Structure 1
Amino acid sequence: MKLFWGDLHNHCGITYGFGELNNALEAARGQLDFCAIIGHAMWPDMPDRTEATAFLVDFHNEGFAKLRADWERVRAKVKEANADEEFVTFQGYEIHSSEFGDHHVLSPSDDLPLEYAASPAELVEKLAAYDVIAVPHHIGYSPGYRGINWEAFRSDYSPIVEVYSKHGCGMSDTSSYPYYHTMGPKDSGNTVLAGLKKGKTFSFVGSTDHHAGYPGSYGDGRAAVWAKGKSREAIWEAIKAGRTYAVTGDKMACRFSVNGTEMGGRLVAAGARQIALDAECVDFIDKITVFKNARPWKVVTGESLDQAASSGIKSKYKVRVELGWGDSKQGYNWTAKALVIGGKLLSADSCFRGRSVLAPEPGMRENPDMNKLGNRILEQSDAALSWACTTFQNPSTLHPATAAVVLEIEGDEGTELSVQANGMNKVVSIGKLLEGSCSMHVQPYNSEAMLIHRAVPESAYNIHLEWTDTEKELETDVYHAEIRQSNHQFAWISPVFVS
């Protein structure tokens, strides 16, 4: 199995989102392996149009009509973008539902028709010939207020559930990332843990629900899939089998199994259960929690792990180079290069963001190129990485609009990293970065800046853990896991179901 990264739920100007479809596909190719661009298609039980609801009803109906009129072109563009072994696309669109919660349907078929239905279940039934699943998303909203309806949930057509997006985290009512959108707060009964307690079986994914054409926007949610290859057929098989998990943004490579059965799997175990967790993270591991039957079963803190770097020994380190800050609301363009001296650049990954948009607002006007930002890796070798990106003024002190790359470096404390960005030049050793981060500004005041984060030694981001459980609690015991990094990036790892 190989690990692939995607976004199965995001929007652009094909309905009431913003940004051109071609730009969205280009952004997705830049840092994802697979993607589905979702159009808003229907809301069967939408509130009646009144003076108070006129804006809500009108922008939805206008968006639905726009997708219907342009569906053939949209479907053709998505089909054209699919290229096995390079970048995989899926077809799909969304059905809102006050009663059952919002779902987006996904299909590997380029012939997927745009059908109308009264519920997600009816829509899947109408589309059965096209191999369709329905994915519930932002599930934590209030019952009857577009939150999930666990009583109506069916795992046969919803093998995965979106547990994190720009809306927040739906794992539990106490999870980090609460719901603060105008749609309201989380309800405990509509969370992931509530569904698992009811005996529902499903796997986890993250996706952005971005509304301005930037799939995979860093920090807004991504889906991880363990598949046999980067093809539409292989990734679709993995999604339906539930070999998936969710991350906020950092691409944490996670394996989780019980008696050798991987996440999303089901097994019969008469005796002891051997639980194994492997994770290559991107920052310092802060906390790992293994849940059994929706309750914490084993907790490992970062302080209990040996996270110290071995002095004077050649090893691996991860270093994040972050660009942004300043007061530019229209976007600030960067060109940067990182050079490894006395060591080797093993790999690099981008943490690029799009302009943050979750839903349309009165007065917004469509700009097809609002998220054509030019974020991309320009060149990479075993000694250097160059990249371009656009950053914006941070909307608040708690909401970043920065961009970053993460470098995996092989070397020792004497290995140096030289970073050049928009006239700045900083040279610092791994030894110094193990002690702490360093920064530099473009201008003397209210200026864009560069931050080279503290170096993370391999012992602090790469772990293998095992436990043995001998106690049967329920007819089917459910094990899943959560990883939290020190930078507050999360991974939510899908369950294994043990009978």
Structure 2
Amino acid sequence: MKLFWGDLHNHCGITYGFGDLHHALEAAKSQLDFCAIIGHAMWPDMPDRTDATAFLVDFHNEGFAKLREGWEQVRAKVKEVNAAGEFVTFQGYEIHSSEFGDHHILSPSDELPLEYAASPQELAEKLAAYDVIAVPHHIGYTPGYRGINWDAFRSELSPIVEVFSKHGCGMSDKSSYPYYHTMGPKDSSNTVFAGLKKGKKFSFVGSTDHHAGYPGSYGDGRVAVWAKEKTREAIWEAIKAGRTYAVTGDKIACQFSINGAGMGSSLETAEPRRIVLDAECFDFIDKITLYKNARPWKVVVGESLGQEACEGAQKYKVRVELGWGDSKEGYSWAAKAGVRGGKLLSADSCFRGQSVLAPEPGMRENPDINKLGNRIAEQTETVLAWTCTTFQNPSTLHPATAAVVLEIEGNQATVLTVQANGIEKEISLGDLHEGSCSMHVHPYNSEALLIHRAVPEAAYRVHLEWTDTEQELETDVYHAEIRQVNNQFAWISPVFVR
């Protein structure tokens, strides 16, 4: 099995989102392996139009009509971009439901028709010939207010559930990332934990629900899939089998198994349960929690892992972050990092789109809102060059920065050089292990560059094993959560043990 990264729920200008479809697909290809561009299609139990709801009702109806008129062209473009071994696409669209919660329909078929139904379940059944699934998302909203309806949930129609997006985290009412959208707060009865306690079987995914045409926008949600190869058929098989998990943004590589059965599996055994968790993170590990039946069973804190660097050669991860300043229209960067006395093993991008979750009164259509020039231009064993666009942070708690994470093999004498828009810095990994450093482009209200503290391998890679001999329920459910110091998370899908 190989690990692939995607976004199965994001929006652009094909309905009431923003940004050109072509730019959205190019953004996805720049840092993902697969995606589905989702159009808004229907809301069977939408509120009646009144003076108070006029804007809400009108922009939804206009978006639905736009997708209906352009569906053939959208479907053809998504089909055209799909290329086995390079980049994989799926077809899909969304149905809102006050009663059952919002779902997006996904299919591997390029013949998927745009059908209408009174509920997500009815729509999935009507489209059964196209091998569809219905994915509940932003599940934590109030019951009857577009949150999930666990009583109506069916695993055969929804093998995966979106547990994180720009809306927030729906794992539990105690999770980080609360719901602050105008749709309201989280309700404990509609969280993942509530569904697991009801005996529902499903795996976890993250996706952005981004409305400005930037699939995989960093920090807004991504899905990881363990599949045999990068093809539509293999990734679809893995999704339906539940070999998925959710992350906020950093591509935390996770393997989780019980007696050899991996995430999404149902296992019948009378033997002791040997639980294995492997993870490679992108920052210092803060805490790992193994849950049994939605209660913490084992907790490992990062300080117990031995996070110090050794004197000899080893691996480090260093994040180079660009942004800040007061540019609301976008600031363009051209940057380069070099390694001297060591080797650049890999690099990963943490690029964001403009932060848009839904239309607002006064917003204008802009097909180039997602044409940001975010890309890695060159990568060798000693050099990484990239371009990106950043924006003024919307608030002191909401970043609009861009970053790359370098994996470097070296020692404390290895030197990292960074150049970006006239800024130049040369610093050793030993100094970076002691702390970060920052520089500014201009004297005041300036864009800036931050080279984060170097993370030694002992602090970002972990192998854990436990043995459990106690059966609590007819089916015990084990899942895990990983939190990094930078508040990036991974939520690892359950293994169900009878």
Cα deviation, residue 32, structure 1: 0.2
Q: Name the residue aligned to 1:73.
A: 73
Q: Name the residue aligned to 1:425.
A: 424
Structure 1 SS opposite 2:152: coil
Cα deviation, residue 445, structure 1: 1.1
Kindly provide the CA deviation profile for residues 135-167 of structure 1, in whole angstroms up to 9, marking residues without a partner as x. Answer: 000000000000000000000010000000000
How far, CA to CA, are the matches of 1:184 and 1:41 in structure 2? Answer: 22
Cα deviation, residue 171, structure 1: 0.1
Kindly provide the CA deviation profile for residues 282-302 of structure 1, in whole angstroms up to 9, marking residues without a partner as x. Answer: 000000000000000000001
Q: Name the residue aligned to 1:448.
A: 447
Kindly provide the CA deviation profile for residues 175-229 of structure 1, in whole angstroms up to 9, marking residues without a partner as x. Answer: 0000000000000000000000000000000000000100000000000000000
The one-letter code of the counterpart of 1:58 is D
Cα deviation, residue 305, structure 1: 1.1
C-alpha RMSD of the superposition:
0.4
How far, CA to CA, are the matches of 1:273 and 1:34 in structure 2? Answer: 34
Kindly provide the CA deviation profile for residues 260-313 of structure 1, in whole angstroms up to 9, marking residues without a partner as x. Answer: 0000001111020000000000000000000000000000001111111112x1
Q: Name the residue aligned to 2:91.
A: 91
- Structure 1 vs Structure 2: percent identity of aligned residues? 83
How far, CA to CA, are the matches of 1:330 and 1:55 in structure 2? Answer: 26
> Is 1:357 matched with 2:356?
yes
Kindly provide the CA deviation profile for residues 241-274 of structure 1, in whole angstroms up to 9, marking residues without a partner as x. Answer: 0000000000000000000000000111102000
How far, CA to CA, are the matches of 1:124 and 1:438 in structure 2? Answer: 52
Kindly provide the CA deviation profile for residues 362-387 of structure 1, in whole angstroms up to 9, marking residues without a partner as x. Answer: 11110000110000000000110000
Q: Name the residue aligned to 2:479.
A: 480
Q: Which blocks of at least 5 consecutive residues in structure 2 are unaligned?
A: none
Q: Counterparts in 2 of 1:238-387, with a 5 A limit? A: 238-311=238-311, 313-387=312-386
Structure 2 SS opposite 1:41: strand
> Is 1:157 matched with 2:124?
no
Q: Name the residue aligned to 1:397.
A: 396
How far, CA to CA, are the matches of 2:10 and 2:206 in structure 1? Answer: 11
Kindly provide the CA deviation profile for residues 358-412 of structure 1, in whole angstroms up to 9, marking residues without a partner as x. Answer: 0000111100001100000000001100000000000110000000000000000
Structure 2 SS opposite 1:219: coil
Q: Counterparts in 2 of 1:85-234, with a 5 A limit? A: 85-234=85-234
The one-letter code of the counterpart of 1:353 is R
How far, CA to CA, are the matches of 2:444 and 2:51 in structure 1? Answer: 48
How far, CA to CA, are the matches of 2:307 and 2:79 in structure 1? Answer: 46
How far, CA to CA, are the matches of 1:160 and 1:327 in structure 2? Answer: 40
How far, CA to CA, are the matches of 1:171 and 1:301 in structure 2? Answer: 20
Q: Name the residue aligned to 2:437.
A: 438
How far, CA to CA, are the matches of 1:479 and 1:107 in structure 2? Answer: 29
Runs of 4+ in 1 over 4 A off after TM superposition: none
The one-letter code of the counterpart of 1:29 is K
How far, CA to CA, are the matches of 2:125 and 2:189 in structure 1? Answer: 27
**TM-score normalised by structure 2 residue count:** 1.00
Structure 2 SS opposite 1:173: coil
Q: Name the residue aligned to 1:34.
A: 34
How far, CA to CA, are the matches of 2:491 and 2:264 in structure 1? Answer: 12
Structure 2 SS opposite 1:151: helix
Kindly provide the CA deviation profile for residues 39-98 of structure 1, in whole angstroms up to 9, marking residues without a partner as x. Answer: 000000001111111111111011001000100000000000100100000000000000
Q: Which blocks of at least 5 consecutive residues in structure 1 are unaligned?
A: none
Cα deviation, residue 433, structure 1: 0.3
